[in-house]
Amino acid sequence: MNADYMNAHLKFISDAAGSDTHVILILDGAGWHVAKALRVPANITLHNLPAYSPELNPVERVWAYLRGHYLSDRVFRDYDELFAETSTAWNRLNETTLASIASTQWVRRAI
């Protein structure tokens, strides 16, 4: 991914949230998350996690769940099979399971 894709993603989030909603987006240390070419919309604040802190990133628990339940102890023929099986595993997640896996004490959804 590069800054162009991240900029498109930020615009998508901004448009989906609407101008009357402010979004705090929590990011890991990926290079495109900190690129100087980022154009951050006014209704988005980027918050970077500390380096080497996967325990603070809820998606790390999601990947661990997928590996443990669907993707471990297997040999994939090639990248395409790995990609397809990962997509299938991801699509097996429902809202309840995802909320349970990714829930933390420090991030709560405000409605």
CA distance 22 to 102: 22
The residue that leads in pLDDT, 110 or 53, is 53
Q: How confident is the model at residue 85 (pLDDT cuts 50, 70, 90)?
A: very high
CA distance 81 to 45: 37
CA distance 64 to 52: 16
The structural domains of the chain, with segments of one domain joined by +, span 3-50, 56-102
> Around Cβ 10, how many Cβ atoms within 10 Å?
19
Comparing 9-13, 49-53, 64-68, 87-91, the range with the smallest average pLDDT is 49-53
The kind and range of the H/E element at 27 are strand 23-27
Do the bridges between strand 44-48 and strand 23-27 make them parallel or antiparallel, or are there none, so unpaired? parallel
CA distance 100 to 4: 33
